[in-house]
Structure 1
């Protein structure tokens, strides 16, 4: 999808499955635990309705946390605009000049085969089944900005000028590849740019 010089890069998988995991882990599980502890407290102690204040506070906090995380999920995207690759991971935002990224090239890798490039330690971001978005330490110790969705068998691997690796699960890597190719400076016969 492109409008007025902006090319949105579609991710390789829908966010529906990670959103279901978020619902289960950030909303349903805490609320189930609160309900169970409330029922146990009520049956054992036969306490007054004042005991409902704590679960009500937990419910409000859990709901606010879930809605905040869901809003962050909605922000996750990658786009090309004005010769720059803009990445929004939900917790951070970065952009890189395409010409700088083009200098190191782009590879499409299978993270199941090249396990050193897999995200290991999440330092700032979101990690759920079929979603890794944010800053990670890769298994080889390198720092990486990731937006990985679905299966990780076709991932775009780039390296920024500061050494940061960028891992993106794109539905069509050719769009980014073409943008990088057009951003590469044209060399003259004498080798000058």
Structure 2
């Protein structure tokens, strides 16, 4: 399976990875610490209860921290699973928790094009139905503004490869060089799939 770097999907940025850490680890732990501090400082709680609960509160925070770090590790690993592959049988896309292998006959290459989402707002993702959405990163199933279902693998600016399929959904991919991927798809596709 071909995996040339020129047309591989853009990886998640360091900004996206920072947002992931803040949302999955820092925020839940901070909320829990604040809630436990509020309960411990409540005037209705006796000093004896607050002192004996201190060890329990530390255990709660440490347990939550371990859980949040484990979840972060799983999602961060999934963010690295972001690539496309081509071979004689067809096209494969893997992004976070989603994988699709499509035969050449399932791709509508004659309608595929590189678009700028700022110039084509009807193709912008409107609603996440089953996917991962972080600032600067979208992966999974979304509903577009034109009401079409799409599998997205985007991690950057507005230029994407829009690739309709015969499977009832479209693909919106953000390779490093969208035009290079489109040309390579057209080169590898059998003649009947290019029409």
Q: Is the 8 A contact 1:99 1:183 kept in 2?
A: no
1:151 aligns with 2:149: no
Instruction: Find 1:133's aligned residue among 125, 133, 139.
Output: 139
Q: Is the 8 A contact 2:112 2:163 kept in 1?
A: yes
Q: Structure 2: give runs of 5+ residues left out of the alignment.
A: none
**SS at structure 2 position matched to 1:151:** coil
Instruction: Find 1:71's aligned residue among 77, 80, 84.
Output: 77
Q: Is the 8 A contact 1:102 1:184 kept in 2?
A: no
Q: Is the 8 A contact 2:131 2:140 kept in 1?
A: yes
Instruction: Report the TM-score, using the length of structure 1 for normalisation.
Output: 0.83
The residue that corresponds to 2:22 in the other structure is 24
- Deviation at 1:68? 1.3
**Which protein, 1 or 2, shows the higher relative CO under an 8 Å CA cutoff with sep ≥ 6?**
2
- Deviation at 1:156? 0.4
1:7 aligns with 2:13: no
Write the mapping of 1:67-146 to structure 2, written as runs, cut at 5 A.
Answer: 67-146=73-152
Q: Deviations over 1:47-67 (max 9, x none)?
A: 412233332332222222111
The residue that corresponds to 1:171 in the other structure is 176
Mapped partners of 2:9, 2:163: distance in 1 = 16
Of residues 165-174 and 76-85 in structure 1, the stretch that sits farther from structure 2 once superposed is 76-85
**SS at structure 1 position matched to 2:161:** strand
Mapped partners of 1:166, 1:5: distance in 2 = 19
The residue that corresponds to 1:33 in the other structure is 31
Instruction: Report the TM-score, using the length of structure 2 for normalisation.
Output: 0.82
> Which structure carries more helix by proportion?
2
- Deviation at 1:99? 4.8
Q: Deviations over 1:86-105 (max 9, x none)?
A: 11121211112245425444
Mapped partners of 1:56, 1:24: distance in 2 = 17
Aligned residues, how many?
184
- Deviation at 1:176? 1.6
Question: Residues 34, 94 of structure 1: CA spacing in aligned structure 2 closer, same or farther, 3 A cutoff?
Answer: same
**SS at structure 2 position matched to 1:38:** helix
Q: Structure 1: give runs of 5+ residues left out of the alignment.
A: 188-192
Question: Residues 183, 141 of structure 1: CA spacing in aligned structure 2 closer, same or farther, 3 A cutoff?
Answer: same
